[in-house]
Amino acid sequence: MSDLASRTCVPCTAETPTLREEEVSALAARVPGWEVVEGHHLRRRYSFRNFRDALRFANRVGGIAEEQGHHPDLSLGWGYAEIRVWTHAIDGLSENDFVLAAKVDALGAGSA
């Protein structure tokens, strides 16, 4: 398990600074498979054998999101689930986003 996955998301406010580009790059290297989109959010698509497995995964992600108080956007369909995450309070990336990404990866879901 990544050391990021063992951390806990901390509440952010509008005053929380967004991560600088070099911070984003360093953290992104610790969650391989996640794409940094326009320096604003993270995205990853997971593949599954069927809809049921994708839905089960999305529900497990939802459980983590509730525990952490940090909620991603989820899209799913037959054989896939896609996750987009950013810190809404700052409309950009914070360390919480990378913590959540690592926790999702720790679920051991389908292939990216």
User: How confident is the model at residue 1, as a pLDDT?
Assistant: 45
Cα end-to-end span (Å), the chain? 17
Full-model pTM: 0.92
Does 62 or 112 have the greater pLDDT score?
62
Interval 53-89: pLDDT, tens: 999 999 999 999 999 999 999 999 999 999 999 999 9
Does 32 or 110 have the greater pLDDT score?
32
- Residue 38 contacts residue 93 (beta carbons within 8 Å): no
- What CATH homologous superfamily does 39-112 map to? Transcriptional coactivator/pterin dehydratase (3.30.1360.20)
The domain spans of the chain are 39-112
Please tell me the chain's helix, strand, coil percentages from 3-state DSSP, rounded to the nearest 5. 35, 20, 45
